[in-house]
Amino acid sequence: MEEEQRARRWFLAVWAIVTVVKVAIAARLPLFVDEAFYWQEGRHLAAAYSDLPGLTAWLTRLGTELGGHHVLAVRAPFLLMAALLPWLVARSAAHWFGPAIGWQAALLVVLMPLSGTLGLLALPDVPMALATVLCADAGARLLREVDAMSATELALGLMLGALSHYRFVGVIGVGLLALLWLPEGRKVLRDARVWVSLAVGVLAWAPLLAWNLEYADAGLRFQLLDRHPWAFHGDGFRFLLVQAAMATPLLFWAMLVVCRRGIRGDAQAGTAWRYFALLGAVSTLGFFVLGFFADNERVSFHWPLPGYLALLVVVPLLLREWSPAWRRATWGVAAIGTLLMLGYYVAVSSPGLRAQIAGSKYYPENFAGWDALAEEVQAMRATLPAGTVLLADNFKTGAELGFALGDAEIAVLDHPLNHKHGRAPQLQLWGLQHDGSRDTPLLLVVGATDVKFSALLAHYQQLCRVVGPLPPARVVNIDHGARRFLLFALPAERGQGDCITPVVANIDVPQAGARVERRFNVGGWAVKDGVGVSKVEVLLDGRVVAEATYGGANEWLRSFLKDASRDPRMPNVQFTAQVDAGDVPAGRHWLGLRVTGGDGSVETWAEQPVDIQ
């Protein structure tokens, strides 16, 4: 009884604190690009979409209908589901292993970073996690006795999962394998009530199947074929390391031990223990293997979460076998992991902290700059003719600007990102994929940092082919240019003439983050199709500190740009300068460029940090 009360008090205290902190962060954290697109889907209600079943979009619509147009309203249903999740785990674990184990399992759900931060973002993994716990609990109850309540819970979980994500098919498959593995499970599968529940779950896939049948399996092809290389790659080892970090190392090891015992069928483990362990083992190990063959370009660290949730039901039993020191270390490291993850989201939600990590690999570009971009867009629209139509170059910019401006009808150009993320078919269905033709003025918003740097010039040239010659751009540099947007005011009639692209430039010397003396050399290159570059100025913290000598030869650049540059001075596009930092204080400063084109246009290039001694 004392252990139960202590576990309950710890859970309630930690759950309440983490929930309040998550709500506070969610109210300030800018929308992630996927969240913005789900919001846009919620403004175009449908039974299913090109990238997902309908539930995620429906929840974002519900949140904003009840809470207004605010990021917290978008996330509110997901925060509520995430707050409910540990209670369901507590209920399931307590039913089989006693109340103390139930509260401890629930506390682990709150403390493991992957599950503890769930709900901060409006993503399909939240309802999918809830569905997984419902199905796992229902399956365990059916092992003891097949009754109407357990069958109903199973049907509810299957329906919720089917409306959440394609990946839930894997959860269903794992559950069936676990039941088939156990003699008691095979008995359960002979009961007609269980098959009625399964039939209800199958029916929940009907909207998604109907969508794919109508649109040539576009969603299925993306989820199963287009996004995966289906060839061995070594990133699977990195995937395992990321999992150990996201679950925290000691807790990760504990879950692996539970997996091993579940597969071996230890005599000490009862039916329920083996069932939950098998659910987690098959799912988790399956995703570990998949990590060596599947998509390694998009975020995938959350994939094994359903398996972890099943394993956490049993992990407190294993921890009882460990020494007190190792138990305390496991709980402590898990708590530190969640604090670090919450701290990361706090940093992402703070403009000042985001700016400090600009230029590093940790910069959260998919969260950053959207409000600032919206302000610049609104300011420029005010100077343009009435009736000017807003056009984005890809779905990310279109969806994020749409949320910031309260407009879910912003058209976008055909862009590789739309296809890479499976959003192109949906944009076409909404009639929001723009072909570049026009009879009214357009304000084109281009995300320069959404394209690989080596492909940026080719992207500008493609824009010319689609919309015609580009006028001088209004440059929006956010967080020292870590996020960079170009705004083009296009006339109602497509212009004639050569393509004059925006500047593409790079500082080769010094490298980003380098330590330099107060007098140091700067070198690099700059190109501009059609008119070339007439002047390059070096900036330090936004102030001109030197005018570069421009026109040196750079033969290497031809191969880097794949012979795409039509700069009239190519390959004599190298610049050099010497900077005297003067009396600026020692420490971190930002080095940038101001480039003047042969047509008189001026662009401020992205900055990079240097450490002045």
Return phi, psi of residue 539, to 5°.
-110, 145
Residue 530, Cα to own-chain centre: how many angstroms? 37
Distance between the two ends of the chain, CA-based, in angstroms?
A: 62
> What is the model's pTM?
0.92
Work out the pLDDT band at 310, boundaries 50, 70, 90: very high
Closest C-alpha to 164, from 108, 99, 118? 118
The pair of three-digit structure tokens given for residue 447, joined into one six-digit string: 């995300």
Asked if pLDDT for residue 9 goes beyond 90, the answer is yes
- The 10 Å CB-count burial string (b at 16+, else e) for 195-210 is eebbebbeebbebbee
Asked if pLDDT for residue 65 goes beyond 70, the answer is yes
Whole-number average pLDDT of the chain:
91
Asked if pLDDT for residue 97 goes beyond 60, the answer is yes
Is the bond leading into 571 cis (omega within 30 degrees of zero)? yes
Tens digit of each residue's pLDDT (9 = 90 or more) over 102-155: 999 999 999 999 999 999 999 999 999 999 999 999 999 998 889 999 999 999
pLDDT of residue 295: 66
Classify 541 in phi/psi space as left (phi over 0), alpha (psi -120 to 50) or beta.
left
Q: Express as a percent the part of the chain with pLDDT over 70.
A: 98
Tens digit of each residue's pLDDT (9 = 90 or more) over 532-589: 999 999 999 999 999 999 999 999 998 888 888 999 999 999 999 999 988 889 999 9
Work out the pLDDT band at 495, boundaries 50, 70, 90: confident
Q: Measured between alpha carbons, how far is 229 from 160 in angstroms, rounded to an integer?
A: 29
Return phi, psi of residue 564, to 5°.
-85, -20
Work out the pLDDT band at 365, boundaries 50, 70, 90: confident
Q: Measured between alpha carbons, how far is 585 from 583 in angstroms, rounded to an integer?
A: 6
Average pLDDT over residues 497-505: 93
Tens digit of each residue's pLDDT (9 = 90 or more) over 269-305: 677 888 898 888 888 877 778 777 776 666 577 788 9
pLDDT of residue 26: 97
pLDDT of residue 266: 64
Q: What is the DSSP letter of 185?
A: H
Residues 6+ apart with CB under 8 A from 580: 518, 519, 545, 546
pLDDT of residue 179: 87
